[in-house]
Each structure stands twice: as structure tokens, then as C-alpha cells.
A and B are shown apart, each in its own frame.
Chain A
């Protein structure tokens, strides 16, 4: 498979009083064109830091060592957020402007990066809204973020991220706020985008079962370090580290033993 990007010895530090250890320590990882890679790990393990570093979106005080090399026809320029990289942020309210209608926000991305006119941009925005399975697309285009539920806002953020047809889609906990039905639909959609539009996916999630359903490879992070990376089936069925094992065990599936002490349910 052709490489899309290659990360070598990446270390990221934030300047912070409480946090002397780097947020990411010496991480090396290759991503191929068209692959679906999941990144999992506990809170604070450096998942978002890695994603932001790849997208060139780290906040100003952050210091980076190591390298991220791209294999894209960019004429030596850095890949452009919105056009080359679509990013769905962990906090959807953070990526949407509260005083701009949904249609306008998505339209803006399309006009900036695809150079379409106002009408064409709006038509494409409507298409995208339908593609992320939002009900009543016309009404959603005219709505403002506060008029949508949490999950509906998250789908708008996904639509905006894929609006310009980026090469790489980075989804940071993009489906964590969604119900299982929409989640499954978004997962299907993301698969389709990867297959049809030749997109590459980096999917960050707390949910190891979801990550396993979507990704071909899984990378596990802990305390800023890459603990293991491998084929999804191997990671899930024969993890090499106790840490990955503990993540698998903490998953609350529909067949897990209840935490609540209860006499067995009365048969209805």
C-alpha cells in the first residue's frame, strides 16, 4: 500500500505547570493511503495530541520534536486543514459557530476550498446533510446549532469536515455522542467515503468495540506512548499487552455482567 504519512519519534510537550512529562513521547507510526486506522487509549494518553499534531493544529505553546512526512503532491507545502485534512473535533460545539446557520457554515467550507458559487455550495451542503443522515435536510440547513440535539450537531460537524473532499479524515471521538443506529450509519458512511472517495481515516475512540468494527488497524496509546499497533483482529483477540487486555475487559457490552446488584428480572 502507498504511504500517506510517516511519523517518526514524535514528541509533543505543552507548557504546563502541572504536567512535566510530554503529552506524546517518541511516537512512530505509518499511515497508508486508503486505510482505516483506529487510535484508542485512556483519557490523557495523547490521542488528541497526536491528531492535532498530524493536522498541524496544536495550540501555540506546544513544542514538537521528531518528524511527520507527507506523501502528497503538495509542492513542499504543509497540507491544508479543511481541504487536505478534514477534522471532526472531540467537542462538536467547539467546531460550530453558534450564530451562523448550519447551511452557511457548511457552505463556507465548500466555497473556500472548492471555489463554488453560493447556490452550488448550498446544493452541495444539502447533499452532505443528507449523506450524514440528518432528518429534514431543508430545515436543518436553516437551523442554528442550539436548535439541534447533541447528536445532530455532531453529524453537522462530520458533514463540514468532509465537505471539501479531504484526503485524510481525522475523527476525534466523532461518534461518541451518537446513538447506536446513527453510529452504525456514520460508520457505514465513513467506510463508503474511504472506499469511494479514496479517503484515509484516523478514527479516535474510547469505544474499543466500535474501533474494532471500523478499523483495519488499531494503535493503542497510554501515558503518551504507543503501547502496541497491529491488525484489528490480532489486537482484539490476542493483545500483546496487559493494558490492551484491560481495555477489552472494561468494555460494557450488551452481554456484560451487570454492575447493579439485582435479583434476576421478573419474566414479563
Chain B
């Protein structure tokens, strides 16, 4: 048995013959078109026909563009039809050329394989030495290598190069984050006395309108008067889900006994996982489901997590009813809404860290 020599840190390229002899290229079978002039002619005609299909396709696409140009742009199905015809024309125009060329190559061009030698990629020892010599020469010429070492020059150049990018990056990156005031995460438009309004029309909500089992998508009153830009920004934080349960089903949370009104509770709609709107409410189980990664929150039980990747309950908005019967917020959320971040329990000017502690699982 010949020892397999392609093992153990060897440097050259050897073929894994395992002692056998390479039998050489297999016998090449000629195609029909190579031998029979009729088959050759036929293949030629087929290729030409395929190119013909392409020409036809281009004509169809142009015809579709011009003749259907007057489709009603408000009618989705009509628009889709125009586009479909242009697309089908384009399909034929392309596929005809493609298949024609491939058929040509396969049936009429050379199919007898050729052999080309490879050369090892490693450059020859001479050129390697030459390269190193050139670099050394260059280094000596500059004075960086060789006898004169010029340490100060080297050091100052490296330092200059290393810090020069700061001159570009600091102003550039520095401006990209606007005011960098990340504590804005903690505040929403909610505050004492802000009325709850329906999303999206802004109609105010009376406690009496909220029947048991119903769900309201809620925005703070006044949100819609904001400028579009601020509107989206504020809405992204302030959206709330209002639900009325049978008061018997509702398990009031410690310290939050007066945050609800007669079975009506309001929770932030922004998932505490990575921030999708939590939108699916199931009446029977009182579960709120986030469609993004299926975190499930139990509304009857402080919106605690019962399943899925979120860890914290949805923040609760303390609510009350004002003299006119409208539902209002008692205050802003007592913790930052939405996904967790590194310093969410820190520093908030109006948010003492310990109030954001939540119950267990």
C-alpha cells in the first residue's frame, strides 16, 4: 500500500492519486451537429428562431407601453395589467436572446475540452527577494530604514495620521445625533389631565363609551395638532391601549390600586421587547399579543409577560375620569416606554429609579 503522502504539513501541490494513475481525459463523443450537416442546419435555424422570439418580445413590450398608456392610474388592476404586458414582453425579449445564445454555444460551438496548465501562485524566490530589496531600498531612501532611523519623524507622522481623521469624524458624527439628549426617551405627551383620544381621529373618550371587553387604540388629545415630524415622534411613544375588563377579573397591582377606573385600564402600546406596537387583544384570556415576536401580556394581571421574548410588563398609564366624564391621564408613565436600554433606570430627571421596578413573572 502506498503511503498517502498528502498529509502532515507538506508545502507543495500533490494530486490525491493514492497511488493510482490518472487515466487522462475521457473519450470525447462528437455531437450530431458535428457530423450531420442537416442537424447543423437545424440547430442554426432553432437559434435564429429564438432570437426571433426576442424581437417579438421587444415589439410586445413597446406595444404594451404605447397602447395601454391611457390606463386609469387610479385603478390598481388596470395599472397592474399594463405592467404585466410590458413585463411579459421584456421576458420574451430577454429569454429569447439568452436561450438562443446558450443553444448556439451548446450545439454549434466547440465542445471538445481543452487543457491549460496551472502555475503555482507563489512568486519565484527571485522576485520575492527583489520585492523585499525594493522595499528596503525605498525605506533607506526615505531615511526611515537603514542607518538613519529618524525616530522623531516617524513618531510625529504616525501620531498626525492617527488623529487627523478626528478632524473629519468629530464634526461629522457629532452632528449626526442632533442634540444627543437621550433623556427624551423618558417623556411622552401624557401628563396630569391630558385627555385620552381615539387613534387616529382624535375623538375624546368617555368612560361610559367603553363597554366591558372593548378595546380602544388611544392617543393623547392634542397629538394631531402637532407638526407631522413631531407627531410621528410623539406618537411613537405615546400610543396607548385602553381596555375595560369586568372589575372582578382585574387583578389590581400593588401601589397602582387607583390607576384604573372601574375595570378600565390603559397600557403603553409599545412592546417592551424591541418596540413594535402591541395590537392584538384577545377578549377571553385578556391577553395582549405582540405580532412581531409574540410576546404575550396579561392585561388582567398588570400586563405581565406570560409568553415570548419580552421580560418586562407593559408600562401602565394611570387614568381617572374628569368632571365631564372624559378619561384623562393622572400623570405621564412612571418609566420609559418601549424596549429596554442600558441606562433606562438611571438619571431620569423626573423619574426616580425605584418606581420603575416591576413585579416578577
A interacts with B? no
Residues of A in contact with B (beta carbons under 8 Å apart): none
Residues of B in contact with A (beta carbons under 8 Å apart): none
